[in-house]
């Protein structure tokens, strides 16, 4: 019995040493960092860890991305290729067999919804199974992909422990939600505070040390579940408030009240009000998706998240409202939707990015086509629009924005308010315009041919 107790003490001491050793390696910039998923979240992390002096290996199953990165090229519009070429200690690869060489592995893979608007965890779980295959003692695994509470400490942990190693003892597990906002000129990966939750105190200490090395401030929380819930709250807060102004916009249209003028007036109050703006629907990989992760999880607990689901319903229906508005405007000119020619401006989900994920433009284009509309689009950031899992029939190329293109369209529909657009030029030659972003008024352009939606 005494012999067993002595062995147990030695094992615990060894694990404590492993924990402190990894923190020391991180602090000395000797830890090897691995980023799985080199998209809008993973690639900025690669750049920041490289800038900080770490050896970084980027993993992706898309060989096209890997080859472009090896050539020092960028496939994301707002990430300059110069930043990639400056990453001298960066190795992009699709060879996951080198995972045992990595000390800290960060997972940045998609967490979309399936056709029933339920969480599709295939990418996270497949990635976790790959890591489990190569998992060694002393590694840190961090999930950054947005998900439901319990993903990290329940689902992922069970997969990772499948070969006998124990989380918090033999390897370390944490969750730190991504907070990327593409093309935001005021905040970057480095300057946005980073929430971190660990499976155990040691897991948290290592993960905090890791992110302390690249961000201005880390915000440690008591568990991975709190960290997971934090991200959901952030985006549900936005989704609910956007749904509110979208609903008010539709009501105020019937009352002949300008919602944009109302918001401008309301935000002069110096307390108790934060401006949210209506639009053609939600886009991006967070706000249209994240709330449904929580509503899905809530059903396991026999709890109805009615408020969140109502907001989701309103926001999801906004593209339908836009198409109805298009039909109403065309009718004023004695035209029907069927057979009309409509030019859509912007298919990216937000201004000045090339990201089309969950863009309301996709739904709007699909609906217009179903009504027999001849649809063309222009987007200075998106030359080709295709390959979308929920819109497989959309396969289009951006047309040049010329005087002839504008005159040819029966209606010009502004969905994404890129700053690159010459709004005065568009107004001069378009027969009529529907502005879903209040972009023309904000630039002092007023015309009887411009309508809101």
3 state DSSP class of 91: strand
Cβ atoms < 10 Å from Cβ of 31: 23
- Distance, in Å, from the CA atom of 380 to the CA atom of 131, rounded to the nearest integer, reads 39
DSSP per position, 353-378: ----TT-HHHHHHHHHHHTT-EEEEE
Q: Which of 129, 143, 128 is nearest to 231 (CA)?
A: 143
**What is the rounded CA–CA span in Å between residue 10 and residue 6?**
6
Interatomic CA distance for residues 91 and 310, integer angstroms:
45
Q: How far is CA 327 from CA 175, 228, 330, 336, 416, in A?
A: 46, 42, 5, 7, 19
Active site residue 432: no
Spot the catalytic one: 104, 108, 203, 286: 286
CA distance 270 to 100: 54
| Closest by CA position to 360, among listed 429, 417, 400 | 417
Yes or no: say if 52 and 21 are a contact pair by the CB < 8 Å rule: no
CA distance 370 to 363: 11
Q: Which of 197, 155, 202 is nearest to 18 (CA)?
A: 202
User: Hey, is 178 helix, strand or coil?
Assistant: coil
Q: Which residues sit opposite 345 in a β-bridge?
A: 378, 414
CA gap 278, 215 in Å, rounded: 32
Q: Which two tokens stand for residue 262?
A: 């109302």
CA distances from 412 to 101, 265, 269, 339, 422 (A): 54, 29, 35, 15, 14
* 8 Å CB contact between 160 and 173: yes
Question: Nearest 5°: phi and psi at 397?
Answer: -120, 145
Question: For residues 139 and 171, is the Cβ–Cβ distance under 8 A?
Answer: yes
Is 408 within 8 Å of 426 (Cβ atoms)? no
CA-CA distance, 34 to 49, in Å (whole number)? Answer: 10
As a whole number of angstroms, the distance between CA 142 and CA 137 comes to: 15
* Catalytic residue list: 286
């Amino acid at each position: 019995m005494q012999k067993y107790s002595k062995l147990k003490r030695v094992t615990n001491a060894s694990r404590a040493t492993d924990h402190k050793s990894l923190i020391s390696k991180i602090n000395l910039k000797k830890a090897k960092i691995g980023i799985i998923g080199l998209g809008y979240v993973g690639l900025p992390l690669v750049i920041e860890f490289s800038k900080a002096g770490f050896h970084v290996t980027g993993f992706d199953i898309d060989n096209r991305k890997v080859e472009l990165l090896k050539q020092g090229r960028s496939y994301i519009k707002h990430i300059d290729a110069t930043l990639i070429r400056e990453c001298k200690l960066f190795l992009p690869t699709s060879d996951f067999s080198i995972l045992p060489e990595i000390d800290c592995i960060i997972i940045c893979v998609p967490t979309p919804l399936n056709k029933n608007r339920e969480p599709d965890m295939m990418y996270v779980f497949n990635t976790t199974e790959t890591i489990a295959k190569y998992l060694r003692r002393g590694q840190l695994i961090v999930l950054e992909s947005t998900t439901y509470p319990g993903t990290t400490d329940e689902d992922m942990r069970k997969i990772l422990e499948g070969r006998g190693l124990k989380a918090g003892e033999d390897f370390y597990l944490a969750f730190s939600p991504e907070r990327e906002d593409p093309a935001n000129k005021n905040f970057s990966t480095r300057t946005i505070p980073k929430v971190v939750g660990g499976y155990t105190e040691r897991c948290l200490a290592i993960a905090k040390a890791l992110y302390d090395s690249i961000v201005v401030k880390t915000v440690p929380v008591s568990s991975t579940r709190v960290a997971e819930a934090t991200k959901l709250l952030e985006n549900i807060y936005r989704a609910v408030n956007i749904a509110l102004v979208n609903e008010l916009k539709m009501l105020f249209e019937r009352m002949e009240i300008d919602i944009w003028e109302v918001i401008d007036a309301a935000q002069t109050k110096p307390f108790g009000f934060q401006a949210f703006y209506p639009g053609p629907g939600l886009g991006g990989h967070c706000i249209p998706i994240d709330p449904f992760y929580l509503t899905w999880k809530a059903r396991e607990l026999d709890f109805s998240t009615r408020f969140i689901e109502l907001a989701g319903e309103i926001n999801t229906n906004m593209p339908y409202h836009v198409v109805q508005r298009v039909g109403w405007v065309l009718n004023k000119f004695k035209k029907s939707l069927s057979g009309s020619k409509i030019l859509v401006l912007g298919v990216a989900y937000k201004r000045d990015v090339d990201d089309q994920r969950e863009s309301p433009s996709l739904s709007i284009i699909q609906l217009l086509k179903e009504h027999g509309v001849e649809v063309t689009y222009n987007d200075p950031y998106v030359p080709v629009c295709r390959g979308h899992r929920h819109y497989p029939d959309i396969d289009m190329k951006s047309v040049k924005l010329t005087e002839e293109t504008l005159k040819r369209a029966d209606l010009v529909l502004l969905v994404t308010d890129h700053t690159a657009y010459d709004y005065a030029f568009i107004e001069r030659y378009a027969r009529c315009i529907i502005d879903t972003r209040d972009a023309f008024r904000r630039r002092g352009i007023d015309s009887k041919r411009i309508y809101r939606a």
